[in-house]
Amino acid sequence: MLKGNVALITGGSRGIGAAIAKKYAALGADIAIVYAGNAQAAEEVCRACEALGVQARAYRCNVADFEECKRAVAAVKGDFGTVDILVNNAGIAKDGMLAMMSKDAFDQVVDTNLKGAFHMIRHCAPLFIRARKGCIVNISSVSGLMGNAGQCNYAASKAGLIGLTKAVARELAPRNIRCNAIAPGFIQTDMTAALSDAPLVQAIPLGTMGAPEDVADAAAYLAMAKYVTGEVLRVDGGLAM
Ligand code: NAI
């Protein structure tokens, strides 16, 4: 159902990004993975996608760097011809209480999570505009909807991503380019490995943490939902309702 599309997924070497890459590959999209440092993990995801019958390549790029993003998008265009779907999934957390938080911890999280998405959208937009179609999926968080003590940097970056999503959706809708966000709750990945269970899980109405594949299912829906734009889709077991 995504056959003939090229999907660029940032942070695609593990966790939620890897699950989205494999889901999109299973639906027939060719896959371009942007990864920060672990080339071997990125290559393994590419091989798994190829086993599903599509083309896949990995590109090393720090999404916090505007020029690196420009080069990565140009490289993907060179290899695949274009980008049809952009998933801004790369993200980091550097949690700490406000009174103790360093300027660096705030800057790094905003630079990666929020500005990283802007960089990739900025460089993919000309391709979308030329093709008169495009789809952007930004991975936000329930932290961006509800706030979370100890995460003022992360919550600000993820709330900013929702504003970015809606502004881009309005600006590019006349050009047939859609932009949506997903707000995952607690999903079992490396990022949340330290959290595991107890009080957090008890607060989730459905009673368990989610799997990366649950977010990938939502990303697949948004890639295909041609009348949906500017939406924030929670995938959180009911946590933020
Ligand atoms: P993860 O830590 O397993 O994966 C994050 C990916 O982003 C990694 O592949 C990492 O290499 C990449 N990345 C980080 N900084 C980068 C940079 N500067 N340039 C390029 N790539 C970079 O985390 P997970 O859990 O898979 O998270 C994926 C996204 O989902 C993140 O944006 C995260 O904030 C968001 N999220 C995760 C939740 C969870 O419970 N796991 C909940 C809500 C949102």
Q: What average pLDDT does the structure give for the chain?
A: 97
Residue 179 in tokens: 């932009």
- 174 C-alpha to ligand 1 centroid (Å): 31
Asked if residue 90 has its Cβ within 6 Å of ligand 1, the reply is yes
Domain covering 6-186+213-234 in this structure, CATH number: 3.40.50.720
Comparing 30-44, 194-208, 217-231, the range with the smallest average pLDDT is 194-208
Q: Give 144-195 pLDDT, tens digit per residue.
A: 999 999 999 999 999 999 999 999 999 999 999 999 999 999 999 988 887 6
CA neighbor of 126 nearest in space, from 69, 187, 167 = 69
Residue 146 in tokens: 């509800």
- 185 C-alpha to ligand 1 centroid (Å): 13
Q: Give 18-63 pLDDT, tens digit per residue.
A: 999 999 999 999 999 999 999 999 999 999 999 999 999 999 999 9
Rounded CA gap, 58 and 51, in Å? Answer: 15
State whether residue 156 is helix, strand or coil.
Answer: helix
Displacement of CA 201 from its chain's centroid (Å):
23
pTM of the model: 0.98
Is pLDDT of 198 > 70?
no
- Ligand 1 nearest-atom number relative to CA 64: 18
Q: Looking at residues 224-231, what average pLDDT do you find?
A: 98
The whole-number pLDDT of residue 195 equals: 67
The whole-number pLDDT of residue 196 equals: 59
35 given a catalytic annotation: no
